[in-house]
Amino acid sequence: MNAVSRFFLRAKHWQIFLLVCGVYFVGQVALINSLSPAPSSQGTLVKGDLRDGFVMALSALGIFVWFWSMGTFFSSITKTELKLKPGFFRFALVYPVFYFIFFIANFQNFKPAFIAVMLPLHLLAMLCMFYILYFVSKSMVLAETGKPAVFYDYAGPFFLLWFFPIGIWIIQPRVNQLYSDRRRVELSPGEAK
């Protein structure tokens, strides 16, 4: 586990809230400040849109890193027979960021062909976002209970993660508890020697 994961797993709910929402707010301010009322040329517009896509992707980085930290940690402490396969989870964390940059960079090309290409890509990005919520919420319940879980069992964490500004205040203390319990278990055998 790296330092970034440890930070996100040990941080208090208010720290996660400030980091995630703060990075998002700064990204939005930078995006608004970068908008020019009348671009001088089409090349400038496209370059600006690509830059705006990067700013938006960076502004979402905090929440994606939080999801990644939780998902990998929960998966690592879940019983082997209950673990969810992490392959699509990894893809789901990366794809929406690149899709969003691509979408913002090409938004001015609003033609029927563009819609035909973007619609399936957009639907895949939405699927990825829901899969991230599913993976993290179900993995958390599996790690907490050690028993198989159905949607009813992890629906609460799923919706709390979906509405993350509110969910951070409830989910992060549970993450802190699981992390401290895991650390205590890891340290116990060493202390006995």
pLDDT of residue 192: 45
**Percent above pLDDT 70 for the chain:** 82
How many angstroms separate the Cα of 192 from the Cα of each of 62, 77, 185, 186, 189? 38, 22, 11, 11, 5
Lowest-confidence segment of 76-80, 158-162, 184-188 by average pLDDT? 184-188
Q: Quote the CA–CA distance of 100 and 145 in Å, as a whole number.
A: 36
Per-domain boundaries in the chain: 3-192
**Shortest CA distance to 8 belongs to which of 143, 170, 180, 175?**
175
**pLDDT tens column, 38-70:** 555 444 444 456 666 666 777 778 889 999 999
Mean pLDDT of the chain: 83
| Confidence band for 109, pLDDT divided at 50, 70 and 90 | low
pLDDT of residue 46: 45
